[in-house]
Amino acid sequence: MSALPRQALDWLCAGRSDYQAFQQRKRTRVYRRNRTACLYTWAGAAGLLLVCGATSCLITFGLIATLICFTLLDPD
């Protein structure tokens, strides 16, 4: 059941060259290292939310963590 969304995405994007390039990039060591750094960034943001649980902190830390992850995982 958990493979169903991945199979649907693979079927929808089957002929796209950018999707194939993304699949190849996902297999590289650099991408996996950056993905791990992204997960640590989100863990750090979650830790900061334990200190400051206000809505403004949630939005701020969430936005910053998202932008850092986009920067790490975007090849360009």
- pLDDT per residue, tens digit, the chain (76 aa), is 678 888 888 888 888 888 888 889 989 999 999 999 999 999 999 999 899 878 898 899 999 999 999 998 887 6
Query: Residue 20 sits in which domain range?
Result: 4-73
User: For residue 4, what pLDDT is reported?
Assistant: 87
DSSP state of 51: H
Own/partner long-range contacts of 66-70 (Cβ < 8 Å, ≥24 apart):
68/38, 68/41, 69/38, 69/41, 69/42
Q: Which residue in 76, 59, 63, 70 sits closest to 35, CA to CA? A: 70
C-beta of residue 26 within 8 angstroms of C-beta of residue 38: no
User: For residue 45, what pLDDT is reported?
Assistant: 92
State how far the Cα of 53 lies from the Cα of 34, in Å rounded to an integer: 27
